[in-house]
Chains A and B, each alone.
Chain A
């Protein structure tokens, strides 16, 4: 199928703590996944991506883990800051005969408490 789902709709963490946002996908043929951050009133902002031939990819303060066995993605944000407050979406890239499209999950709202 083409569904991408998230485990939790909201997550609150203390400033400075680490946060983990989870995502499940259903299409075992998917080979490219992206995490986007969406702040209020703005468009999705690319954070990090990962291909299916990788288990882990790190960026600046963010890490994405991919478990293909259980079709699960997670986004880890280290040392959260107030600016990390946003809705985070995982997206699955589907490529059909060369045409690309993203299938987004519902999103997790991350709130950073001072």
Chain B
């Protein structure tokens, strides 16, 4: 069964450093998403992406965040200058329309 994959599974970084989180969506899906989940809290929407552009973004997704689909299979989330409060699980999801399927997540820890 096709699934969304994410790398790395864990990432530790220093405050102010740039990180890139990578995702490989399900191959025939056209819609891509990033969500985050701070420890013990609910999953929060960050951004949706379709046809090589952002469809919608939340207020969390400020200028420090960017997304890219550099090739036909990868979908990345970049945080330019990480802050302590960026520590969270980051989930990638993809869909062919409404039903979104999630990856296993990347646990980001900013020190």
Contact = CB atoms under 8 A, between A and B. Distances in A.
Interface string B73-103: 0000000000000000001010101111111
Contact of A98 (B4, B55, B95, B99): B55
B100 A100 contact: yes
A98 B101 CA distance: 18
B42 A104 contact: yes
A43 B45 CA distance: 14
Nearest to A91: B43
Contacts, number: 62
A13 interface: no
Given A43-B103, A43-B105, A99-B48, A89 B95 contact: no
Contacts of A99: 48, 50, 55-56
Interface size range of chain B in the complex: 20 to 34
Interface string B46-72: 001010000110100000000000000
B44 interface: yes
B104 A42 contact: yes
Contacts of B48: 99-101
B10 to A, nearest CB: 10
Interface string A83-103: 000000101010110111111
Interface string A1-31: 0000000000000000000000000000000
B42 A89 contact: yes
A43 B26 CA distance: 15
B103 A101 contact: no
Contact of B33 (A34, A101, A103): A101
B98 A44 contact: no
Interface of A: 32, 34, 36, 41-46, 49, 89, 91, 93, 95-96, 98-107
